[in-house]
Chains A and B, each alone.
Chain A
Amino acid sequence: MRAIIVAGAFAVATVPAVAADFPSRPVEVVIPFAQGGGTDQVGRALAEYMQNHLGGDMYASNREGGSGAVGFRHGADAEPDGHVITMLVTTLTTAPHTIEGYPVTYADFEPICLISAPPVVMSVKADGDIQSVEDLVAKAQEGGRTLTFGTAGPGSYTHLAGVAFTQAAGIEGRFVPHQGSSPVLTATYGGHIDVALSEAAEAMPWNADNRLKTLAVFDDSPVPGLDAPTAQDQGYNVQVGAFRGIGAPRGTPSDTMGILIEACRATTEDAAFQDHMATLGVEVDPIFGEDFGSWLAGQHETFASAAEAAGL
């Protein structure tokens, strides 16, 4: 008997409070990748801080699989009422060009905001015989052995950055894919591969304790906290980077979008959120709404040409 009353109480408790406004129930932040990765950490932090500014609970859910295909597809197919938002990351703009049959593109989403856009950097073992980009190019041109470049995965932005660089420098490179950037940095330090391609934030700790040396930043300005010149400065105009933002399903009404965009703006201006992101090495550099949309389209095109150039 008691069990039934308790069970009944549970049932009543879960009926959401009647509210005409958005959000009327907890908002899901879809993370199209597994727990522990960079996107997961940013996504969980975002959910944690943004819920204070949105006026409703937010929770993160991991829906990994197919290089993000599963999660992105779920987010794109969700009810366009704003209760399911998705982490939009670089893979969304690279995978359609490199993975056959990739079922989703940036056009399936309404852009809410861009949170950060870190560039790719190139690093080598600190005590090795390569100490600068010139050394690298020279060694590659020496012949004898093709240099190995570690990437975070086939067709990933790290791979595309590497291809863009080797083409600009006119050298050969063998691209070795890994599961994410962390194994790449480890393998480079262990001497198993020659060059590591990764995000700036991931390479920073390895630079700080002198295990790896970052040779170049693939952006138009150097990264604060990282003592490395841009590739442009050394004569190779390569600018490839990653990004992390959020989006809602296409067709979400504009007033709901307005609420979400405002909440995101408030979150990026939240000092606690900024501090948290800083400790993760993420530089918050927001772009909102429509602007983010056009920026995304630009990224999609950039990667389209990069992929073509790479022969993928």
Chain B
Amino acid sequence: MRLGRTTIERLFLGLIILLAATLTPEAMRVGLWRSGMPGPGLYPLLLLAMILGISLVLSLPVGAAPDSEPPALRVERPGDIAIILFALVAATILMPFLGFRVVVLAFSGILMVWLAEQLTFPRIAIITAMTLVLSFGLYSFFASVFRVYLPVGRLTGL
């Protein structure tokens, strides 16, 4: 994927400007002035104004760094990155339902298999062991030593 770096940057800054603009009404809603002193909305409004202002300046051609050409923006292995992010999102969503142990077992198993360059037999054994350690092992460790109970799934009770 080869979008120009400055374009991507401008898109990013544009999103930030949009976000800041969307949040502004809420800042005004909570009140800019209250009982004779600055209200809860004034300080955030000033922050949003600064964010808006700086983003605008940075997105102007003049605002960009005047020195050498910025390096091209590349995402290597976008497939790997996408899989990881997708897996993380899935894990987060499923965690309350399936619980830490089940989700991490699946998550780590899938990721380790996907990321491994070759799947030799010893590797598979190590991966299996590691997934058990990371899921059930970590859960028991935190529960027994620190009395910290990692999420238990509503549906599985695990």
The interface of chain A, by Cβ under 8 A from chain B, is 1, 3-4, 6-8, 10-11, 13-14, 26, 28, 59-61
Contacts and interface: CB of A to CB of B under 8 A. Distances in A.
Given A3-B133, A4-B128, A7-B129, A14 B149 contact: no
A7 B134 CA distance: 9
A13 B140 CA distance: 8
Given A3-B133, A4-B128, A4-B132, A10 B149 contact: no
B97 interface: no
Contacts of A59: 147, 149
Contact of A4 (B129, B140, B141, B143): B129
A14 B147 contact: no
A11 B149 contact: no
Q: Is the interface of B mostly helix, strand, loop or mixed?
A: helix
Contacts of A7: 129, 132-133, 136-137
A14 B158 CA distance: 9
A6 B141 CA distance: 12
A11 B132 CA distance: 9
Contacts of A4: 125, 128-129, 132
A10 B140 contact: yes
Interface residues on B, range: 10 to 19
Secondary structure dominating the interface of A: helix
A10 B137 contact: yes
A14 B132 contact: no
Which 7 residue pairs across A and B have the least CB separation, nearest first? A7-B132, A3-B129, A59-B147, A11-B136, A10-B140, A4-B129, A14-B140
Interface of B: 125, 128-130, 132-133, 136-137, 139-141, 143, 147-149
B12 to A, nearest CB: 29
A26 B144 CA distance: 11
Given A1-B125, A26-B149, A59-B149, A14 B133 contact: no
A60 B148 CA distance: 9
Contacts of A8: 132
Nearest to B131: A7
B129 A14 contact: no
Nearest to A7: B132
A257 to B, nearest CB: 23
A1 B126 CA distance: 8
A59 to B, nearest CB: 4
Contacts of B132: 3-4, 7-8, 11
Contacts of B140: 10-11, 13-14
**Max chain B CB contacts within 10 Å: which of A1, A11, A28?**
A11
A250 to B, nearest CB: 19
A47 to B, nearest CB: 9
A14 B125 contact: no
